[in-house]
Amino acid sequence: MMGAFGHPAVVAAVRRVREPEGAMAASRRIAIAALVGALLLPVRAPASAQTIRPRPEPLDCTAATAEFGQAATWFGVFAGRRKTTFDWIETTSVTACFRTEKDCFNWLYWMQTDWPDWTFRIGCAKGQIPNGDPKWWSQRLGG
């Protein structure tokens, strides 16, 4: 006695489902090939901000001015706040030294990222520590 799945009509129906014909078969093969190709492509992680903009380590200002001279040292200042657990407010005020302008501005970028709530003192200057003097700020801002 033959089982139901061995009946010639059932076998023919299964074969038609498994083996589509014509344009439909071609489009399915293309879709499957595209899917397999996409899955086999190497996965590349998105670039992080750390690789785009490095986080430079500040230099000791006394050592930097002694080694490079005050006129060649970049000074950066930052003061800002951020909220912590339970919405507590944490405040920081930092003066840092760098060898290059790029390092100073990269450092400022990361300070603003880490302390985003209220930045109230920020700047980079070569040869002197940026301060609160309005003349100093207007000279740097083109005023």
Residue of 61 and 131 predicted with greater confidence: 61
Which of 11, 103, 91 is closest to 58 using CA atoms?
103
8 Å CB contact between 119 and 79: yes
- pLDDT (mean) for 81-91: 92
Percentage of residues in the chain having pLDDT higher than 90:
38
Mean pLDDT, all residues of the chain? 76
8 Å CB contact between 101 and 127: no
- Highest average pLDDT, of 35-49, 75-89, 119-133, comes from 75-89
Residue of 143 and 140 predicted with greater confidence: 140
pLDDT at 15: 57
pLDDT digits (tens, 9 = 90+) for 25-54: 667 777 676 666 555 566 555 555 556 789
5 pLDDT above the threshold of 90: no
- Rounded to the nearest angstrom, the gap between the alpha carbon of residue 57 and the centroid of all alpha carbons in its chain is 18
Which of 123, 116, 126, 64 is closest to 92 using CA atoms?
116
Say how many residues make up the chain: 143
pLDDT at 121: 80
pLDDT at 76: 92
- pLDDT (mean) for 54-61: 92
Phi-psi domain of 24 (left: phi exceeds 0; alpha: psi -120 through 50; beta: other): alpha
